[in-house]
Structure 1
Amino acid sequence: MDWFKPFESDLSEVFAECGDKISNFPAPLNEIGRKYIQKFDVFQQGSAKNYICYLLPFWMNDLTSLSQDIYRKLSTANIYGMLYFFIQDDIMDTHPDDYTPGMWKHQLALANLLHTEFISIYLQLFQANSPFWNYFKDYIQEWSEGVMHESQHDYFQHNPIHIAKKAAPVKLGSTAALLLADRHDLIPAAADLMNNVLLTLQMMDDWADYEQDLSDGSYNCLLSLIKSENNLPRSHTLTTEEVHRAIYLHEALSHYVNIASTTHQRLLNSSLNSPHVISFHKTLVDELKLEAENIENGRKMLEHGGLQYYLSILSKI
């Protein structure tokens, strides 16, 4: 099932609306904000494609029967929220040695304007006494716990589903749609479904970013797995050589993919009719599988005397 193409026109309208709104922010934040959203605009070449942030409300059409205008509003809110939280992440990930006084002045001011737009859309849809705001509070608390404790508690080894906490606000897109459709009963199952998808999405990001995270000392699911498989203490600082040896010679990525595949099986057994979400998750797992297969094929070439692969591996380890 195509999880993107059916919603392309709606999504184009959503990004256009966000761009117009941001263009009306006070200068110079309008220009800064316009450039910032382009980095995540799915229709811009080379942008970061955070599809789930934009598309989750539309995917909820499989479980709800709302107007397209409502889905577009929820998608718009998610985009403002995504931009807001990404600024928070950037600030938290800045190494103290790289900080200079005033460097975050514009970004923090922009973040507050984005947050205002984020909240204002939900205020149009939910009264102050709506249960939506309890979920809102819960998801923000989950996000806070995730960014504070993932490394300390080594979530990936001890409770992998908690990896999803860092992206908990994304669930507002599904929870809001279910509340508006009067399907409160489906919210726990939908939240569990999304937690599993967000876990695999973070695993995918961590595979792509493991070298940067290794350099920065940031928590990373793949690096956590490598430490565990090598019986290394959590305090151990992995070297680049140790990581490449685990990935290219000892099948660490294949083991990583097995975890994502097990997660996909859980989704297939879900009681929810959410084919677009399932299809999106399958895309993530298939991409990871392809990466692991490419490495495994290269390893077999090494076993059979593939000179070029041997030389490339030596350059990594």
Structure 2
Amino acid sequence: MKEVDDFKDEIELLFQEASQEMMGLPDELRETGQALLARCNPLHSGGKAKSISFLLPYWLQEETGAPIELCRDLSIGSVYVMLQYFILDDVMDGGDDRIQSSGIRKSLALAQLLSVMSRQRYARYFEQDSVIGSYERHFVGQWSSAVTREVLEAVNPLDVGQLAGKAAPIKLGAAGVLLWAGQTEQRIAEVEEAIDLALAVLQLSDDWADRIEDLHEANRNSFLTIVKDKLADVAADTLDEPGVKRAIYHRGAVSQLAEIAEQYRDRLQRIPKVPVRLQTYQDTIVQDLRQTADRIERSVNELAAHGGLSQLVLNMK
């Protein structure tokens, strides 16, 4: 995305400094940590990190007048938080049979160290009893609730908190910049709401992209929730790929996904003084979902006019 290109030099600096710091990890964890960091670097081909995960301090710099050193430190702290929760999510998704393996033990040990390394970055600017600790507990609580609900109930595409909750810890970087700038509790809450709305749209997009993988792995997925709702009148015991295709081509499931994303965009635009970068980030994702929905609708209409709709549904990947 454009945000990665605009901050290319800073991203390179962040990941270089994080890599250098990881050289101080215990011998048993150094290679694992470096490999995970490299895998998440968005400047590398296939880097899996989302820019919002660690660029929030930079996106708030213009509003707050924060020095570049603060933005860099909190962004590096955010990189460590991102890696920590990647590890925890992987462990949770792996199942009980993997928990006792040596690989999982090593990963969990690394996650603990990443948590310490992140706090050390914040300690350069905040005292131990600072209110930043309350925000950290708040965001981790949101994450804990989200990952617990994920295994108990379907993902509701209309529930911003549920959609954004798994990424809640990354909001600490934004809170840190705002606290340093002496912003009010109300302003911090407004920015948090805006970030949640952006994260919710990101999750809708990810769930659309991961629909088939999540279907086969029986993972909770907001798009598949829409699909099941669209097929309620013909629901089978188990959702399968033909059912997903039917919801996409016959029931307008992707159009509904795009409509929900647009509603979240409208809500974000009503929040006072939303950081421009955050708004652009969300809007880009919303536009992509809308273009996808419109492209599918055009294909359906064109093929229906020529009697080829059944072949389209049959061949859809």
Instruction: Normalising by structure 1, report the TM-score.
Output: 0.92
Are 2:162 and 1:152 aligned?
no
- Where 2:210 maps in the other structure, the secondary structure is helix
Contact 1:84 1:112 (C-alpha < 8 Å) held by counterparts: yes
**Residues 316 and 214 from structure 1, CA distance in 2 versus in 1: closer, same or farther, beyond 3 angstroms?**
same
Letter in 2 for 1:201: L
Greater RCO (CA < 8 Å, at least 6 residues apart): 1
- Runs of at least 4 residues off by over 6 Å: 232-235
Q: Answer whether contact 1:241 1:316 (CA < 8 A) is retained.
A: no
Partner of 1:264: 265
User: How big is each residue's C-alpha offset from its partner over 1:285-311, in whole Å with a ceiling of 9 and x where there is no partner?
Assistant: 11112222222222122212264x643
Match of 1:195 in 2: 196
Identical amino acids, percent of aligned pairs: 28
Per-residue deviation, 1:237: 3.4
Structure 1 distance, partners of 2:100, 2:234, is 34
Deviations 1:160-183, CA, capped at 9 Å, x for gaps? 433211111011111111000101
What residue number does 2:37 align with?
37
- 1:221 is matched with which residue? 222
Residues of 1 paired with 2:148 and 2:304: CA distance? 43
User: What's the offset of the Cα at 1:202?
Assistant: 0.7
C-alpha change, 1:178 and 1:221, in structure 2 (3 Å) is same
Displacement, 1:266?
Answer: 1.2
- Structure 2 stretches of 5 or more lacking a match? none
SS in 2 for 1:152: coil
Displacement, 1:156?
A: 1.3
Listed one character per residue, the Cα deviations across residues 55-90 of structure 1 (whole Å, up to 9, x for unaligned) are 111001132111001001111000000000010000
Query: Partner residue of 1:311?
Result: 311
SS at match of 1:276: helix
Name the aligned partner's letter for residue 281 of structure 1: Q
1:56-205 pair list within 5 angstroms: 56-96=56-96, 101-156=101-156, 159-185=159-185, 186-205=187-206
Is the CA contact (8 Å cut-off) linking 1:11 and 1:72 kept in structure 2?
no
- Alpha-carbon offset, residue 100 of structure 1: 6.8
Q: In the alignment, what sits opposite 2:241?
A: 240
Secondary structure in 2 aligned to 1:272?
coil
Aligned to 2:46: 46
Question: Deviation digits for residues 124-169 of structure 1, max 9, x if unmatched?
Answer: 2211221111011011011000000135343515634332111110
The 10-residue stretch of structure 1 (22-31 or 58-67) with the greater mean CA deviation from structure 2: 22-31
What is the one-letter code of the residue matched to 1:197? A
Specify the code of the residue in structure 2 equivalent to 1:290: Q
- Structure 1 unaligned spans of 5+: none
Q: Does 1:255 align with 2:256?
A: yes
SS in 1 for 2:284: helix
User: For residue 17 of structure 2, what is the aligned residue in structure 1?
Assistant: 17
The number of aligned residues is 316
Determine the C-alpha separation between the residues in 2 that align with 1:12 and 1:133. 29
Q: Which residue in the other structure is 1:274 paired with?
A: 275
Secondary structure of the residue aligned to 2:232 is: coil
Q: Which amino acid aligns with 1:204?
A: S
Cα 1:191–1:234 shift into 2, 3 Å: farther
Conserved? CA contact 1:62–1:275, under 8 Å: no
Report the alpha carbon displacement of residue 235 of structure 1 after superposing the two structures with TM. Answer: 11
